[in-house]
Structure 1
Amino acid sequence: MSKSPSLNNLFYSGGQVVLWIVQHIPLRTLRVLGRIGGLVTYRVAGARRRVALENLDLAYGDELTQAEKTAIAKSSFINLFTTILEFCYSPAIKGSMDNLVTVTNSEVFLNAYAEGKGVILLVPHMGNWEVCGRWHGEQGVVQHAVVRRQKQEWMNRIVTSIRASNLIQEIDKKNGLRKVVAALRRGEMVSILVDQHARKEAVEVLFFGQPAMTHASVALLALKTGCRVLVCSGFRYPDGSFGGVFSDPIETTETGCRETDLVENTQRYVTAMEHYVRQHPQDWMWMHRRWKGTKAAPVEWEDEED
């Protein structure tokens, strides 16, 4: 239930005060606070801590010791808390993102974008997936992010304004298909986070060897528009600074069998993301219940007008 306009304005004003405070704290200090906040959250958020450890058991089994899994879970909480603080801080960033993020394989992404066919960037919840998007805009890339709107309007206003400062245009996940297709046909970039459990329009693929329901939207869009699909994975260096790496373009398989194509292509995307999660497991969001079961609403495609 949405709050009254006056109450929304009050919360928005309070949020602006918090942002002002955060943006006047040195980034290095914020990362220290992020570490403290992440460890405290790990301690007090028992349900999410259990989910993280259960997920690590599913993903790694006996490959890792319990101590190693616990360390990864703690680091995951630290990364998430730090990412939130950095996101709030990001409008205050001065100068080029090249001073803050080290990007690998960038020429592959820029070449794919230059083809003009449109690019879907698969972005796992790793490193700082929000702030690193600013780097794309600085390269002259017109970018959109498919997002889920917040329940509270005051929160939407704050989050949207921060993303705009990072050169990111939002597309509401709900009923946003037309805008996504239009952006791709204009040769622009659309980033989509597809590393979470999907309840609707999903297919079953394997993630860390376990059945995982995953949105088939990217495969649908690639088949329909002929766009390029790449993974952009963030991670952190030991000092907390950002790193980012682009995969090579992921080939789209088209056999003529719709169901086969959706599963095969979605599996390729998930396998590519798993590769990067395995490289930097401490930076992925393990507290999300990724493996909830294998039932989902059927995939449907609503034809869009050209």
Structure 2
Amino acid sequence: MIGLIRALFGFLRLLGPERSSDLGGWLLRTVSPLIPVNRVALANIRATFPEKDEAEVKRIARGAWDNLGRTAAEYAHLKTLFDYDYLNPDAASRVEVSGIEHFIALKDDEKPGLIFSSHLANWELPAICAAAYDLDTTAVFRAPNDPAIAGIVHEIRSGAMGGLAAAKQGAAFAMQGVLEKGGHLGMLIDQHFTRGVVVPFMGRPALTNPILGKFARRFECPVHGVRVIRLPNQRFRLELTPQLDLPRDAGGEIDVKGAMAMMTAVVEGWVREHPEQWLWMHRRWRPNMISAAALAEYDHTIARTPLFKAT
């Protein structure tokens, strides 16, 4: 199995990043109607966009599969995919960066920092960007379920990124250690988390990992969002938001649930802008796992959380 995967990645490297991306996108876009989890994607899109007709729902789903196929194929080129030179921003490259001043500020402020992101376009690029700018960042990731694939993906990530921390039992202690040393954490926050807090996402309650809100409260450090947009002709744009002005409780400390609601609201805006580039195949909403008490608190969260503000 490992040999077969390595041979596939070797073939993709021979094709180059552009043709690999096109091949991966075409393959998953073509076979997606036959993949059982496509029903999850279609159901999620219909529930989120009830105003859209079935043709548009299927178009968004096909686009999401196309993006996933491209992202998978691009793993073979992660070391070379990010080619933006911030010292020469007018040079031709497949990547452009917006908000570079925030990256530089994070590097120079001598404080820990938190960066959240989502499964949009090629979501691996922000961690590669941070490494390229020598920003001391540890990316928190969830390993693929298949051990063979997980091993190869970890090998590729290790060669292209800075620090890596697997999202598993005890990971919070390692993440805390990074921040205590003045480092930065990057984390995707748009997946279901069974022990999470309930926040609004795309008009419905969703369980979300509260760890970044807890760290923001404890360390009083800058929190930024970063997204990737897939552009025509196999190009990308990275956008780093200004620092978020997170909601606080009566005692003046950062409100954890309110903070996660605000971060999630930022992600929602991204997804609504480019729905065909998000990972709709994930079972993000699981109402049967949310208690009545949590739903009541959810209504309270909506009422007390301000709109996204940045300083």
Q: TM-score, normalised on structure 2?
A: 0.84
Residue in 1 that maps onto 2:182: 187
Structure 2 segments unaligned to the other structure (5+ residues): 86-92, 295-311
Instruction: Find runs of 4+ consecutive structure 1 residues off by over 6 angstroms.
Output: 257-260
Residue in 2 that maps onto 1:40: 30
Q: Deviations over 1:119-163 (max 9, x none)?
A: 221110001011342122111112211122344543333111111
Q: Deviations over 1:221-262 (max 9, x none)?
A: 111112221111111112231111111211233315799922
CA-CA distance at 1:97 after TM superposition: 3.6
* Structure 1 vs Structure 2 CA RMSD: 2.5
Residue in 2 that maps onto 1:251: 245
The question of 1:58 aligning with 2:40 is answered no
The sequence identity of aligned pairs, in percent, is 23
Q: TM-score, normalised on structure 1?
A: 0.85
The question of 1:21 aligning with 2:15 is answered no
Structure with the larger RCO, 1 or 2 (CA within 8 Å, 6+ apart)? 1
Structure 1 segments unaligned to the other structure (5+ residues): 1-10, 300-306
SS at 1:23 equivalent? helix
Q: Deviations over 1:97-121 (max 9, x none)?
A: 4422111112123213422222221
Q: Deviations over 1:151-186 (max 9, x none)?
A: 454333311111112123211211111221121222
Contact 2:32/2:62 (8 A) holds in 1:
yes
Name the CA distance, whole Å, in 2 between partners of 1:294 and 1:111.
43
**Counterpart AA for 1:253:** P
Residue in 1 that maps onto 2:128: 134
Q: Deviations over 1:238-296 (max 9, x none)?
A: 22311111112112333157999222111001001111111111111111111111636
* Residues 1:216 and 1:94: Cα distance change in structure 2 (over 3 Å): closer
Residue in 2 that maps onto 1:177: 172
Q: Deviations over 1:45-96 (max 9, x none)?
A: 1x3222112111221221x3322221111100000110010012223x2883
Q: 2:153 aligns with which of 149, 159, 169?
A: 159
Name the CA distance, whole Å, in 2 between partners of 1:215 and 1:225.
17
The question of 1:219 aligning with 2:207 is answered no
The question of 1:125 aligning with 2:119 is answered yes
Name the CA distance, whole Å, in 1 between partners of 2:77 and 2:67.
15
Please say which of residues 79-88 and 152-161 is displaced more in the overlay: 152-161
Name the CA distance, whole Å, in 1 between partners of 2:81 and 2:256.
42
